[in-house]
Copies of this chain bind each other. A is one copy, B any other.
Amino acid sequence: MVGTAGEPGARPGLATHVDDVRLLPEELALASRNHGMPLEALRYDVTPVGLHYLLIHFDIPVLDPEGWRLEVGGLVDRPLSLSLEDLRARPAVTVPVTMECAGNGRTALLPRAVSQPWGLEAVGTGRWTGTPLAPLLAEAGLRPEAVEVVFTGADRGMEGGIEQDYQRSLPVAEAGRDEVLLAHELNGRPLPPQHGFPVRLLVPGWYGMASVKWLRRIEAVGEPFQGYQQVRSYRLRRDADDPGRPLDRILPRALMVPPGIPDFATRERIVPPGTTRLEGRAWSGHGPIVRVEVSADGGVTWSDAQLGEPASPWAWTPWWLDWEPAGPGRHELRCRATDRAGNVQPEEAPWNWGGYANNGHQRVPVVVT
């Protein structure tokens, strides 16, 4: 199936969905720009800069930190215009946060939405430093009639036939959560350009689309925001006509470091006989991870992994399990996470129009020598 033009504003002739596992040229163009985290980097508590995933909708803008201002306006009593120095002078907190793209796992949902063709690499954990948003909204005098706060980035382009700045909103209650930050450092250094220099929003526990990069305006509004990235994109929809429901918190997922050594082309893993320590990370935006299970027989039987301590309530939880292969040959390893809210990672996640929130099991084929 190659669907076309189902999306309001879609380009005529541009496929929206394909059921071929092979990628279209526009998917390749996206894959060439947007970076996944090679899964061996699950070893790090905090992902080194350059290995954290990146999804850049339009172009990385070049912003002059001297001239940059953050405007805070809309339904507030005292609009603010803040320089980078103003923001850096405010109280700051530093917190490791695991961020995941809502489209992670998209290529396993067929027919596949034609967008960034993520495997399972669209994740990373940054040690972010920034100033909490809530006190700043309080200083601006957020009015009681405000229902949402709209965040506008400096990146601009076309999507779905609509020219737009990248914009997303949060309900007032979410924007006011203690852990929502205006971040200006990553891993102890000023933000790299690709992560939103000079300042980005950071919404721990939510998929990455909420954490608007290259922030330039914050506006309180009295009606739900109707921007493209809010009402057309980043929603769980049955089809093009279904308004669907918005994506928000990250569903639970466990991933493992692929064990052994890889084949360059197939990425198949070659594992020596004897005990192999399987290790990885698990996370959820719905609460702490309480269980990670591992299967070495394609999901027939499962064993509990040991859990370590996450670096923060918003960071991934380390897990490990020593595996003794039954014998040489092919095995399929899997893992699955459960969070304290009771969400268990499913074998297969439900298909949806945009290819979002696919937290089905990771499957790692290995050959034991």
Contacts and interface: CB of A to CB of B under 8 A. Distances in A.
A28 interface: yes
A40 interface: yes
A131 to B, nearest CB: 23
B192 A50 contact: yes
Q: Give the one of A32, A36, A159 with max B CB within 10 A.
A: A32
A48 B192 contact: yes
A323 interface: no
B20 A267 contact: no
Interface string A154-178: 0011111001000000000000000
Interface in A3-41: 11, 14, 20-33, 35-36, 38, 40-41
B33 A157 contact: no
Contacts of A48: 192-194
A168 to B, nearest CB: 15
Given A163-B270, A192-B48, A270-B163, A265 B26 contact: yes
Contacts of A160: 264
A117 interface: yes
B115 A265 contact: yes
A121 interface: yes
Given A156-B261, A264-B157, A266-B14, A38 B49 contact: no
B270 A158 contact: yes
Contacts of A317: none
Interface string A188-231: 00001111000000000000000000000000000000000000
A30 B263 contact: no
A43 to B, nearest CB: 6
Nearest to A118: B32
B59 A261 contact: yes
A159 B117 contact: no
A299 to B, nearest CB: 21
A188 B157 CA distance: 34
A26 B114 contact: no
A27 B28 CA distance: 10
Nearest to A114: B265
A28 B264 contact: no
Contacts of A50: 35, 49-50, 52, 54, 192, 194-195
A262 B157 contact: yes
Contacts of A58: 261-262, 264
A102 B8 CA distance: 41
A60 interface: yes
7 contacts: A11-B265, A33-B36, A38-B56, A38-B60, A48-B192, A50-B50, A58-B261
Interface of A: 11, 14, 20-33, 35-36, 38, 40-41, 43, 48-52, 54, 56-60, 62, 107, 114-115, 117-119, 121, 156-160, 163, 192-195, 258, 261-267, 270
Given A28-B119, A40-B60, 13 more contacts: A11-B265, A20-B22, A21-B24, A33-B38, A50-B50, A50-B52, A59-B258, A59-B262, A115-B265, A157-B270, A158-B264, A158-B270, A159-B264
